């Protein structure tokens, strides 16, 4: 008895996503059920993408701090991390490939969903762990000179963060919502309390982005100075992490529809970034994005 293979969901989903852009050329009609269905589908898929983006950054940042702790606790490099290092290198390759192919694959959300149906590990951050005993014995028996120690693991993590930053910056909707203006497809909140919260978050975003630019030379210089020997609390590293958080907040505010919980998440994110004189102060926290 032969086992039937489940049909791949990617073609059907991609077809629906493609219809959104064909339907957008038709007259806007609130009574057209297909137009409304595709529009609502796109909103839901956009939340999936943005939620995964925010979650990946929270885990990646947390894992980097953990890698620094592992490095500090292992001065002689006795622990090995070849297995997880390979997973992080795959994480890097998938993001780089996505960035390279995106110009030929359409808008970000559509491209992400299509690729995610095929590449299950896209944007999935590996969890740090020491090599299994079996892996350690095999490498020691073969006297493998390519063993990954804790200091090398930190370097791999930093490269992963740099590539994630490139992935985020290549998302056109991660730009400042104030300077580029809202998209015509975005829905403004009707509730007065929600409108007030949205205005508060936008104002805070604009002020903190300006302050961040004032104390840092440029985004590229922050990226170049993001190196392990500076430690996790150096001003340039804090500026870099804060810039990632600010871009994520901008991406959330650029969604077609933003809920009250998501606005509160944005406000909480921004409240962790503060400036005293020309020094940046960041309160570390792990904030799950509300989908």
Q: Which of 31-35, 89-93, 236-240 is the most confident on average?
A: 89-93
Q: Are 113 and 45 in contact (CB under 8 A)?
A: yes
**How do residues 70-129 score in pLDDT, each as one tens digit?**
999 998 888 999 999 999 999 999 999 999 999 998 899 999 999 999 999 999 999 999
pLDDT tier at 14 (50, 70, 90 boundaries)? low
More confident residue, 46 or 33: 46
User: How far apart are the C-alpha atoms of 133 and 30, rounded to whole Å?
Assistant: 62
* Residue 5 clears pLDDT 50, i.e. is over it: no
pLDDT tier at 228 (50, 70, 90 boundaries)? very low
- Alpha carbon 90 to its chain centroid, in Å, reads 16
Helices (H) and strands (E) in the chain, counts: 11, 2
**Assigned token pair, 15:** 């077809």
Determine the pLDDT at residue 8: 46
Determine the pLDDT at residue 42: 86
Determine the pLDDT at residue 54: 97
**Assigned token pair, 137:** 């014995």
**How do residues 44-54 score in pLDDT, each as one tens digit?**
999 999 999 99
Mean pLDDT over 24-49 rounds to: 75
**How do residues 168-206 score in pLDDT, each as one tens digit?**
999 988 876 555 555 555 677 778 888 999 999 999 999
For the chain, what is the mean pLDDT?
Answer: 82
Q: Are 68 and 117 in contact (CB under 8 A)?
A: no
Dump the DSSP string for 13-66.
Answer: HHHHHHHHHHHTTSPP-TT-HHHHHHHHHHHHHHHHHHHHHHHHHHHHHHHHHH
pLDDT tier at 34 (50, 70, 90 boundaries)? confident
Dump the DSSP string for the chain.
Answer: -PPPPPPPSHHHHHHHHHHHHHHTTSPP-TT-HHHHHHHHHHHHHHHHHHHHHHHHHHHHHHHHHHHHHHHHT-TT-----HHHHHHHHHHHHHHHHHHHHGGGT-SHHHHHHHHHHH-TTTT-PPPP-PPPHHHHHHHHHHT-TT---HHHHHHHHHHHHHHHHHHHHT-GGGS-HHHH---TTPPPP-SHHHHHHHHHHHHHHHHHHHHHHHHSS-HHHHHHT--GGG-TTSHHHHHHHHHHHHHHHHHHHTSS---HHHHHHHHHHHHTEEEETTEEEE---------
Give the largest CA-CA distance in the chain. 73
């Amino acid at each position: 008895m032969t086992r039937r293979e489940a049909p791949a969901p990617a073609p059907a989903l991609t077809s629906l996503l493609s219809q959104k852009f064909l339907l957008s050329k038709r007259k806007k009609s609130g009574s057209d059920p297909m137009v409304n269905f595709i529009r609502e589908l796109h909103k839901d898929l956009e939340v999936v993408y943005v939620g995964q983006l925010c979650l990946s950054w929270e885990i990646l940042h947390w894992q980097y701090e953990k890698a620094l702790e592992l490095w500090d606790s292992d001065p002689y490099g006795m622990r090995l991390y070849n297995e997880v290092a390979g997973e992080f290198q795959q994480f890097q390759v998938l993001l780089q490939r996505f960035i390279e192919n995106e110009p030929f694959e359409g808008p970000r959300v559509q491209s992400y969903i299509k690729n995610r149906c095929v590449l299950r590990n896209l944007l999935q951050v590996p969890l740090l762990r020491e090599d299994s005993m079996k892996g350690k014995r095999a490498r020691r028996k073969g006297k493998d000179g390519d063993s990954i120690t804790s200091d090398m693991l930190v370097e791999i993590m930093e490269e992963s963060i740099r590539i994630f930053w490139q992935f985020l910056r290549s998302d056109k909707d991660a730009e400042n919502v104030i300077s580029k203006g809202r998209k015509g497809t975005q829905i403004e909140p009707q509730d007065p309390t929600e409108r007030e919260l949205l205005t508060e978050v936008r104002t805070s975003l604009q002020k903190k982005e300006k302050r961040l630019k004032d104390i840092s030379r440029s985004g590229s210089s922050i990226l170049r100075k993001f190196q392990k020997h500076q430690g996790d609390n150096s001003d340039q590293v804090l500026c870099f992490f804060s810039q990632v958080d600010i871009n994520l907040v901008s991406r959330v505010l650029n969604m077609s529809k933003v809920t009250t919980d998501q606005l509160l998440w944005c406000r909480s994110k921004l409240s962790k970034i503060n400036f005293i004189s020309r020094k940046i102060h960041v309160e570390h926290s792990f904030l799950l994005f509300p989908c």
